[in-house]
Amino acid sequence: MPPPVVRIEEIHKIYDSGEIPVHAVRGVSIDIHRGEFVALMGASGSGKSTLMNLLGCLDRPTRGRYLLDGVDVSHLDKNELADIRNQKLGFVFQGFNLLSRTTALENVELPTLYGSRRLTNKQKRERAMHCLNIVGLANRADHMPNQLSGGQQQRVAIARGLVNEPQVLLADEPTGNLDSRTSIEVMGVFQKLNEEGITIVMVTHELDIAHYCKRNLILRDGVLVRDEELKERSIAEKELTKLKDAEAAAKLISAS
């Protein structure tokens, strides 16, 4: 078996900002292999957001080791972590974080401006358009965020996370601001990307959303208490069909 794209070994994160140190993550060890689709779950205060920040190279562990695509990133400085984030990681946020006065295409293109690869403007534009096409929004490339629905904005954010061809796509509560139907549609996008081989790690507190993933990691009080493969996971396409059938039945009942 090839080495994991993410390996964390006995990771600890302790915050000393107050009188009493806060031990947010306690000796967590995880391997995530290429092509996995993992949900990181837990109640508020469980340590899942702290662990996500560590996986995203937004923070450094107090103790332990983190290997990302074979590179030990545990003790890199801020500039080195920024380079790793840009080269190897893609991010999708709950609040979309799109620039309001910038088109969908330009929002997607933005990470390429800071990348180490020397791309021409044409290559950047072509790559951004390709990513919009992947998420089904090529026909909205010239739209501003306020001209897009919440689900469309999140698709733009996913395309932006893909544009630098990351080793891992990290999604932090990506359906948190969306209604039920749009949440299923967005999870369908993630499932499609995963089927194409993209490794995805997603933080969620919603059990029904976690069921769209292939593997659930559950934290409690900074400790990994469960690591389970989902044998019968939800498939977005099927769930949308069920939803449409239920809506059609409800219309027939109300019309009769």
Q: How much is the pTM?
A: 0.91
pLDDT band at 1 (very low <50, low <70, confident <90, very high): confident
| Backbone Cα Rg of the chain | 19
- pLDDT tens column, 148-166: 999 999 999 999 999 999 9
- pLDDT tens column, 27-49: 999 999 999 999 999 998 899 99
pLDDT at 116: 67
pLDDT at 253: 76
249 pLDDT above the threshold of 90: no
pLDDT at 118: 79
DSSP for the chain reads: -PPPSEEEEEEEEEE-SSSS-EEEEEEEEEEE-TT-EEEEE--TTSSHHHHHHHHTTSS--SEEEEEETTEE-TT--HHHHHHHHHHHEEEEETT----TTS-HHHHHHGGGGG-SS---HHHHHHHHHHHHHHTT-GGGTT--GGGS-HHHHHHHHHHHHHTT--SEEEEESTTTTS-HHHHHHHHHHHHHHHHTT-EEEEE-S-HHHHTTSSEEEEEETTEEEEEEE-SS---HHHHHHHHHHHHHHHHHHHH-
Q: Which domains does the chain have, with CATH numbers?
A: 6-255 (3.40.50.300)
pLDDT > 90: percent of the chain: 75
